Amino acid sequence: MIQGNDFVADGLRVSLGRRVLVQPISFALPRGCLAAVVGPSGAGKTTLLRALAGLVPSEGRVLLGGQDVARMPVRQRARQLAYVPQGEAVHWPLPVRDVIALGRYPHGGADPRRLQAGDYDAVSRALDDVDLAPLQHRPVTELSGGERRRVAIARALATAAPVLLADEPIASLDPYFQLSVMALLQRQARAGALVIVVTHDIGLAARFADQVLMLLDGRLAAMGPPNAVLAPPKLAEVFAIDAYRADHEAQPVLVPWAMRSA
């Protein structure tokens, strides 16, 4: 049953000319949930996330707390939905802290160097959350790709939006920070946010997600708990793979193991 505070996609469809990128998709996700969107390359994952954020034209509706996201004033929408894009380019040598402080702009923090106390605290928490406090004064252009990825995540966290949409947030990260970021996003969900993550890592999706949305050819092929969606029949159908499944320290382990022959 859909609750009043759910995040709802109602017949969401995205097309480019005559090409349909996302078939009509409907689902509801509650706050307090970490949802992973998985599927092969070209399945429509990024397009779906951008449509949920209102960044691409789409048909259907996206509702948050019963409100149509498309009808929200831009600043209100930016306070409600934080978005981490895939492969964001960096062109200006701004200090890390100033880039993260841009996440407070929807709340009125127009100048990163003149933040109110609440804005300053939000930025400081985000820096600590992604372990970037020691680098906060370094120009972001001098960071590695993985460090810049963590800056983008921290900027979204600084917004303190009830919905966080993250496209491949662990791309470019080493194994330590892949685990660190996924654990951080899980904590955000446990604290009451809805976090929707696009990822190619089905192993981390199996371990950290509460719900998995599996896309294939722009349609929702399956949705549900990881142990149901990331099961052998669906992995074979959608990814054409066999996977090793086990448990370790009461956590699921899922490792892509072999390609399936045609």
The residue-averaged pLDDT of 50-65 equals 95
Question: Where exactly are the structural domains of the chain?
Answer: 7-259
pLDDT score recorded for residue 89 = 76
pLDDT score recorded for residue 1 = 45
Higher pLDDT, 91 or 12: 12
Selection from 22, 3, 108 nearest residue 64 by Cα = 3
Model confidence at 3: pLDDT above 80: no
Q: Per-residue confidence at 115, pLDDT binned at 50, 70, 90?
A: confident
Beta bridge partners of 224: 212
Selection from 58, 80, 59 nearest residue 69 by Cα = 80
| Tens-digit pLDDT profile for residues 222-240 | 999 999 999 999 999 999 9
Kindly tell me the burial class for residue 90, based on how many C-beta atoms sit within 10 Å of its own C-beta (0-12, 13-18, 19 or more). Answer: middle
102: Cα within 13 Å, side-chain hemisphere:
14
Give the percent of the chain with pLDDT over 70.
97
The superfamily in CATH containing domain 7-259 is P-loop containing nucleotide triphosphate hydrolases (3.40.50.300)
The residue-averaged pLDDT of 7-24 equals 95
pLDDT score recorded for residue 110 = 66
Give pTM, 2 decimals: 0.95
